[in-house]
Amino acid sequence: MRIPAACFAFVVALLSGCATAPSGPGLAGRWEPASAELGGKPFPLGAFRGAQLELTKDTYAFGTDNGTYALVEGGPPARMDIRGVAGPNAGRTIAAIHSLEGDTLLVAYQLGAGDRPAAFVSPAGGQVLLVKYRRVRTP
């Protein structure tokens, strides 16, 4: 059986698109903030009031804040859009980047009106919140 060249090219393009599409199952679980920075300065972990980040395949909960997140193609670094549904970020969309290495998750959130962070830094005077999380338990 012969497959027309156009169909073959389409299948190859589709499969290579799937190979580069972001996937989120590795993010699922419970994460505890280990360190944080905001505006180039250390951000006190006490401000999180002991909250842990709980991620499913596409939802998040952090204290009284919860909503959805979607991984966005592009990068590196890996990108995500966070949409608050209830709590202090209800109605907001927060552009972020993330990196997952073993049981360490690093997320840079753009809390201001600026562009999505391009690197895992929190520039002085800016509104990028950089949080390093440690996995507490897996789903």
Q: Is there a domain that residue 125 lies in?
A: yes
* Cα(37)–Cα(77) distance, integer angstroms: 18
Summarised one tens digit per residue, pLDDT across range 72-83 is 998 899 999 999
Q: Is there a domain that residue 9 lies in?
A: no
Q: Are 44 and 33 in contact (CB under 8 A)?
A: no
The pLDDT value recorded for residue 31 is 96
Q: Is there a domain that residue 66 lies in?
A: yes
Q: Is there a domain that residue 19 lies in?
A: no
Summarised one tens digit per residue, pLDDT across range 69-108 is 999 998 899 999 999 999 999 999 999 999 999 999 999 9
pLDDT at 22 over 50: no
Q: What are the b/e assignments for 11-50, b being 16+ CB within 10 Å?
A: eeeeeeeeeeeeebeebebbbebeebbbeeeebeeeebee
Q: Is there a domain that residue 15 lies in?
A: no
Q: Is there a domain that residue 129 lies in?
A: yes
Q: Is there a domain that residue 63 lies in?
A: yes
Q: Is there a domain that residue 91 lies in?
A: yes
pLDDT band at 26 (very low <50, low <70, confident <90, very high): confident
Owning domain of residue 34? 24-137
- Name the one residue in this structure whose structure tokens are 């012969």: 2
For the domain that residue 32 is a member of, what is the CATH number? Answer: 2.40.128.490
Task: Give me the number of domains the chain comprises.
Answer: 1
